[in-house]
Amino acid sequence: MLTLDQATYDAIVAHAKRDHPDEACGIVAGPEGSDRPTRLVEMVNAAGSPTFYEFDSTELLDLYKQMWANDEEPVVVYHSHTATEAYPSRTDIGLASEPNAHYVLVSTREHGNNDGPVEFRSFRIVDGEVTEEEVVVVPELSPAG
């Protein structure tokens, strides 16, 4: 199960809508081992593509150095699909490299840049195995511990 606060959920959806028809991507970092997604980091899609995303390699290193300095890890790795369902593609599965992360997919195929509902789903991707999980959106994350 992925538990997200409403503000982070809204920000991910807004990012996906803003970047449509290109894929949007980013992470939500949280304290290592906590499973609490607390710090949203929108990333630039260096591929600038409607069918592919990739973090820029220099920005990727900066991001991980920040997380290491804060004892954080990527709790959520998110990206959008802009013409297809919010389900991991073969590419997504093949390239998934964070076994502890929740992989969030947002599909903007219905409403694009406009208001309206999106598909918002979360998955675990480990060794090529995809497992969908429930997404629970709460007003605020409960205090740590």
Partner 1 sequence: MSVEVRIPTILRTYTGGEKAVQADGATLSALIDDLEAKNPGIKDRLVDNGDLRRFVNIYVNDEDVRFLGGLEASLSDGDQVVVLPAVAGGAA
Contacts with partner 1, residue ranges (CB under 8 A): 23, 25, 27, 43, 47, 49-55, 57-58, 60-61, 64, 73-74, 77, 79, 81-84, 88-89, 91-92, 95-100
Rounded to a whole number of angstroms, the minimum distance from the CB of residue 5 to partner 1 is 22
Nearest residue (CB) to partner 1, 7 versus 61:
61
Nearest residue (CB) to partner 1, 8 versus 45:
45
Rounded to a whole number of angstroms, the minimum distance from the CB of residue 129 to partner 1 is 14
Question: Nearest CA to 46 among 79, 93, 9?
Answer: 79
Residue count of the chain = 145
**Phi, psi angles (nearest 5°) of residue 120:** -135, 105
**Reduced to 3 states, what is the DSSP secondary structure of residue 139?**
coil
**Reduced to 3 states, what is the DSSP secondary structure of residue 141?**
coil
**What does the alpha-carbon distance between residue 51 and residue 74 come to, in Å, rounded to a whole number?**
23
- DSSP letters of 87-115? S--HHHHHH---TTSEEEEEE-TTTTTSS
Nearest residue (CB) to partner 1, 6 versus 100:
100
Nearest residue (CB) to partner 1, 8 versus 80:
80
Rounded to a whole number of angstroms, the minimum distance from the CB of residue 118 to partner 1 is 15
